[in-house]
Amino acid sequence: MGGTARDDALLRAMPAVFVLIWSTGFVVARFGMPHAPPLGFLAARYALSVLAFLLWIALVRAAWPQGRGQWWHLSVTGVLMHAGYLGGVWAAVKDGLGAGLAALIVGLQPVLTALWVSSRGSGHVAARQWAGLALGLAGLVLVVWNKLHLGEARALNVGFALLALASITAGTLYQKRWVQPCDVRTANTVQLAAAFAVTLPLALWESTTAWGGFTMHAELVGAMAWSVLALTLGGSSLLYLLIQRGAATAVSSLMYLVPPCTALLAWWLFDEALTPTVLAGLVLAAVGVALVVRPARTPPTKETLP
């Protein structure tokens, strides 16, 4: 009984822990970006993460996915949710797009996911949940509004951000539709290996461009360690589990909370201003997500939001 209650408590805590970990992504970028090219940093992150997962798998003898089809589906989601999403965000910021505008573009994911689920007829998005998505988007705009002027929006960097948006949306929907439940450690290893295979050639090309190479620095080492141990082993594993356990749009709506949490972290770590507008946006985003994920009175369909 005690074990079951503890397991239930851990499951309920998963979304909050995921949002907190995922929100550190822009903090890591702030520390690591001055000392490494974006794709080179990500390629190194994927390689080190694969090694860490392989060690973990060997210690616990975790089961590998069964069948070539599952390996293929995991590889597709890895390319989309790691190489495409992270590569697009980091490249956009490195090319001069402000972090606020990048967060706003990528933050459209919950709306795109809901539109896709609704248009395909694979599930029902209730009026309450559409209202929650709208409130969450409004909160997101408020959070990043005062930061939109910090970067210069150009066709290239906005294109990178749109690539990230398309990748994380497609990856979430694809995993929910095609990936069968399996051990999160081996599943993540396959995903990251696929992301590394796609990112490495681009990183090698990148080293010949104006973005340059690595400069060893304590901030770079810290950013890499956190990226591997917390963001990948922790955050990516939680995202995988959340997608497997929940409806796609409900999981996507958690992304609305990432920019507000990032703003809180920036206030705490870098003494960035936490204005009334940002606080209002945080509240709106939280209320919006609560409306989306609140249990429905009627039994959900396979893609109805819980």
Judge whether residue 131 has pLDDT over 90. Answer: no
- Given a contact cutoff of 8 angstroms between Cβ atoms, the answer to whether 289 and 130 are in contact is no
What is the per-residue pLDDT for 292? 72
What is the per-residue pLDDT for 31? 82
Question: Which contacts of 92-95 are long-range, i.e. CB under 8 A and separated by 24 or more positions?
Answer: 92/157, 92/158, 92/160, 92/161, 92/164, 93/29, 93/33, 93/38, 93/151, 93/157, 94/33, 94/37, 94/38, 94/211, 95/154, 95/156, 95/157, 95/160
What is the per-residue pLDDT for 1? 46
What is the per-residue pLDDT for 202? 92
Lowest-confidence pick of 74-88, 170-184, 210-224:
210-224
Judge whether residue 55 has pLDDT over 90. Answer: yes
Q: What's the CA angle centered on 77, arms 74 and 83, to 5 degrees?
A: 120
What is the per-residue pLDDT for 122? 57
Judge whether residue 302 has pLDDT over 50. Answer: no
Domain ranges of the chain: 35-293
Distance between CA 231 and CA 237 in Å, rounded? 9
Please name the residue that has the structure tokens 């929940």: 246
DSSP string, the chain: -HHHHHHHHHHHHHHHHHHHHHTTHHHHHHHHGGGS-HHHHHHHHHHHHHHHHHHHHHHHTPPPPPSHHHHHHHHHHHIIIIIIHHHHHHHHHHTT--HHHHHHHHTTHHHHHHHHHHHTTSS---HHHHHHHHHHHHHHHHHHHTTGGGS---HHHHHHHHHHHHHHHHHHHHHHHHPPP--HHHHHHHHHHHHHHHHHHHHHHHTTSTT------HHHHHHHHHIIIIIIIIIIHHHHHHHHHS-HHHHHHGGGGHHHHHHHHHHHHH-----HHHHHHHHHHHHHHHHHHSPPSSPP-SSS--
- Output the six-digit token pair for 141: 């705009």
Q: Cα torsion for 291, 296, 301, 305, to the nearest 10°?
A: 10
What is the per-residue pLDDT for 22? 85
The predicted-structure confidence for 35-46, as pLDDT tens digits, reads as follows 889 899 999 999
- Residue of 274 and 67 predicted with greater confidence: 67
